[in-house]
Structure 1
Amino acid sequence: MAPPATPSATEASRPLRAAVIGAGMIAEVHRRAIHAAGGDVVGVLASSPARSLEVARRWGTTPYEDLPSLLADGSVDVVHLCTPNHTHADYTLQALTAGKHVVCEKPLGVSVEEAERLAAAAERSGLTATVPFVYRYHPLVREIRRRRLDGEFGRWHLLHGSYLQDWMLSPEASGWRVDPARGGASRAFADIGSHWCDLVQWVSGETFTELTAASSVAVGERPAADAASFSAHSADGPRTRVETEDCATLLLRTQRGLLASLTVSQVSAGRKNRLWFELDGSRGSAVFDQENPETIWLGAEHESRVVHRDPHHGSAEQRRLSVLPAGHPQGYADCFAAFVSDTYAAIGGAAPEGLPTFADGLRAARLVDAFLSSSRTGDWTKVKHA
């Protein structure tokens, strides 16, 4: 494995140069975030040379013919991996071996063993390796976390919430995520439930150590399509049996015995991307709704109040991430840009608060593994920890 290079003063002052692997919806999000973070997109590798050329022309960058040619490009500092899940382990290991910093879309692999290998490889390499658990970057999420650290909520009694979407509601919706060979054995929980678990653990300071889970498939057959997420599909053509869950419910227990509950769905009509949590403590409660991220609800025994995002008030991290004046809504794209900016700061030697790394990706993979086991048996299942 190539050792990480020590940048010269000139190199440290120039923009970081990124190559993007993948050309779908999330790759476009990464591209915009790279630019917002002050980086340069120097090349793209898509599913074929023709597709790479098409996307490179649209992005105004260089197309790569294959992965070896990308990794051999000495101008590339960091690789953003935005491909189907089953490719993550192989591509990431190759990138780390080539001495590239890596931003890998979750999951780190389609099994806990793959995630363990990647986390270990990243640690050995000394390179920066991050996973886009970007909901940590909502300013008011940081505000809740800071208030928890300051003791405002007291001792937690209960953690609960949901993550609901409707993009799989239509029986004609499909895509590579439905195929367990490419997306993994879990879909809804691994895709979005993992975000909820990461966020709630990070904000609350709790660690989930065991769970019991159930899952269901709402639509038994879908088009055998190889299409992008959140896109329309034709009713014509062959259909395939669905093996990955549309819905899941979990009861979780933390290291100190605290209970938590989570409902996950990709078939809840009208819910586009509703990550919602409530944290209930002995002195107060806090509620965050990702679809309405400009306010949080704070509850106490004799009062409740709504707190607005404000770059001039609140915690230092809330103010740092508030890049627009109050009343000018920020959202998902701003979170992603902040995450990439902090990743690039880490590459430069900084240690940004709350940056999600491969260690967090491994923690998520172990939760998915426990979820799959429990949903098969119905038993309480321990979450593996290092």
Structure 2
Amino acid sequence: MKKLGMGLVGPGFIAAHHLDAVRRLGDVEIIGIAGSSLESAKKRARELDAGRAYASYQELIADPAVQVVHNTTPNHLHKEVSLAALRAGKHVISDKPLASNVQESRELYEAAREAGVAHVVTFNYRSHALVQQARAMIAKGKLGAPVFVHGCYLQDWLTDEQTYSWRLDPKLGGASSALGDIGSHWCDLAEHVTGARITAVLADLHTAVPIRHAPAESTKAFAKSKSAQRREVKITSEDLASVLLRFDNGARGCVTVGQVLPGHKNDLRLEVSGRLASVAWRQEQPNELWIGHHAQPNTLLSRDPALLDPSARGYAHLPAGHPEAWSDAFRNLMADAYAWIRGGGTPETKPAALPTFADGYRNSLLVDAMLKSHAAGGVWQSVEEQLKPKRNEPKQRRGTRE
């Protein structure tokens, strides 16, 4: 099988995980990377053993050896890079959020439909085996009619007021911080697992650390600056959020999101309760699925390929008792992405668990509705389906480039 050539734009924190995942697939060739300058790209290419360095993302996209573009740039560059790749007929795998706002996300969604190529957003939590198990159980009615969907995504990396990141700058990260960064993951997971859509939200947003002492130089996400020179920065985006939810199947829900909560490292939890049973999954304990009952003992399902639904079994690669975690789910997402690419990027060949630009656009609508709800004083806000996108598009096939 001929290897597909991939190029990566934006070699920051997440880039190494993209490269690791595609290396594990075995049928992808890393052609090169592009950064903010040729010098920085050369440095990162050496550090990551990532092929050649390009002077610009335009040069990378123009290379005929690059058939798939991975967009791992800061949020404000997502639209620019992804749109250029789509217009060049390249398949695109973009980090979330799809873009900085609803308008840009809509433009990318429409461009992806017209391009007829594979388009993927890295909502990677979908790709855990037990997440797919929970989805299968709900789809087969084992929980009964869903009643309540709730959970949280809690972190503590922004607890210290001396910590600052481009994610907190609205010009670079967008109007939302915590919701756009990690709340987006939870919302995508909740809709994917339940098969239902959030139709209305009531949001209460808060900035617990309104003033931060940022280093004089720019700071990458999750990085600590050693600079002694500091400047005060007023923070306008939320670092805490509580949101009530209504779903189109009649279920109610709520989610709490925060990044200033000591002790919570990457605490994503999702629970779905139906009339017959409940299921709960926690990202920091990804190999266990809690199943709750009313008139019989609760159970704990360990990740064991032999015990999983056939639709979930392909996402578990090791025998029972051998833990699989975040990087394995990320690899699963890339496996689905490249399977879709090899299948031509058509609706018929898309793996069911794979998130597309339609899901990225959908997610932007959710976050936007939450921002509007809070700005209006904490009132219910409908989630407007501006294009009423279908999840399994694009409209037409242009074919895969090999």
Alignment partner, residue 16 of structure 1: 4
Counterpart Cα distance in 2 of 1:258 and 1:149: 15
Q: Deviations over 1:183-234 (max 9, x none)?
A: 0000100111111111011111111011110111111112334212222234
- Match for 1:290 among 271, 283, 286? 283
Alignment partner, residue 3 of structure 1: none
Q: Deviations over 1:345-371 (max 9, x none)?
A: 001113212110000000100001101
Residues 37, 338 of structure 1: 8 Å contact kept: no
Counterpart Cα distance in 1 of 2:286 and 2:197: 24
Alignment partner, residue 101 of structure 2: 111
TM-score, normalisation: structure 1: 0.95
Alignment pair present for 1:239 and 2:227: no
Residues 296, 306 of structure 1: 8 Å contact kept: yes
Which stretch shows the higher mean deviation, 50-59 or 161-170?
50-59
Counterpart Cα distance in 1 of 2:22 and 2:290: 32
Alignment partner, residue 5 of structure 1: none
Residues 36, 56 of structure 2: 8 Å contact kept: no
Residues 147, 250 of structure 2: 8 Å contact kept: no
- Match for 1:172 among 162, 165, 168? 162
TM-score, normalisation: structure 2: 0.91
Secondary structure, aligned partner of 2:320:
coil
Residues 174, 222 of structure 1: 8 Å contact kept: yes
- Match for 1:254 among 238, 247, 250? 247
Counterpart Cα distance in 2 of 1:144 and 1:49: 45
- Match for 1:337 among 331, 336, 339? 331
Residues 139, 317 of structure 1: 8 Å contact kept: no
Q: Shift of residue 97 of structure 1? A: 0.6
Secondary structure, aligned partner of 1:252:
strand
Counterpart Cα distance in 1 of 2:299 and 2:253: 24
Secondary structure, aligned partner of 2:307:
coil
5+ residue gaps, structure 1, are 1-12
Q: Shift of residue 85 of structure 1? A: 0.3
Q: Shift of residue 291 of structure 1? A: 0.4
Counterpart Cα distance in 2 of 1:231 and 1:56: 20
Secondary structure, aligned partner of 1:25:
coil
Alignment partner, residue 230 of structure 1: 222
Counterpart Cα distance in 1 of 2:260 and 2:292: 30
Alignment partner, residue 195 of structure 2: 205
Counterpart Cα distance in 2 of 1:188 and 1:305: 33
Q: State the one-letter code of the partner of 1:380.
A: W
Residues 212, 381 of structure 1: 8 Å contact kept: yes
Alignment partner, residue 163 of structure 1: 153
What's the % identity of the aligned pairs? 39
Q: Shift of residue 110 of structure 1? A: 1.0
Alignment partner, residue 278 of structure 1: 271
Runs of 4+ in 1 over 4 A off after TM superposition: none
- Match for 1:217 among 202, 207, 214? 207
Alignment partner, residue 305 of structure 2: 311
Alignment partner, residue 125 of structure 1: 115
Residues 309, 318 of structure 1: 8 Å contact kept: no
Alignment partner, residue 194 of structure 1: 184
Residues 214, 249 of structure 1: 8 Å contact kept: yes
Q: State the one-letter code of the partner of 1:52.
A: A
Counterpart Cα distance in 2 of 1:326 and 1:112: 42
Counterpart Cα distance in 1 of 2:188 and 2:271: 14
Q: State the one-letter code of the partner of 2:383.
A: V
Counterpart Cα distance in 2 of 1:152 and 1:14: 42
Q: Shift of residue 338 of structure 1? A: 0.8
- Match for 1:301 among 279, 290, 294? 294
- Match for 1:25 among 13, 32, 54? 13
Secondary structure, aligned partner of 2:243:
strand
Q: Shift of residue 14 of structure 1? A: 1.1
5+ residue gaps, structure 2, are 344-348, 389-402
Secondary structure, aligned partner of 1:321:
coil
Q: Shift of residue 317 of structure 1? A: 2.8
Secondary structure, aligned partner of 2:96:
coil
Alignment pair present for 1:139 and 2:139: no
Q: How large is the Cα RMSD of the aligned pairs?
A: 1.1
Alignment partner, residue 323 of structure 1: 317
Counterpart Cα distance in 2 of 1:357 and 1:194: 14
Which stretch shows the higher mean deviation, 152-161 or 249-258?
249-258
Counterpart Cα distance in 2 of 1:376 and 1:383: 15
Secondary structure, aligned partner of 2:305:
coil
Counterpart Cα distance in 1 of 2:284 and 2:48: 29
Secondary structure, aligned partner of 2:46:
helix
Counterpart Cα distance in 1 of 2:287 and 2:249: 32
Q: Shift of residue 239 of structure 1? A: 2.0
Q: Shift of residue 236 of structure 1? A: 3.2
Residues 85, 107 of structure 1: 8 Å contact kept: yes
Secondary structure, aligned partner of 2:92:
strand
The size of the alignment, in residue pairs, is: 374
Residues 148, 253 of structure 2: 8 Å contact kept: yes
- Match for 2:33 among 41, 44, 53? 44
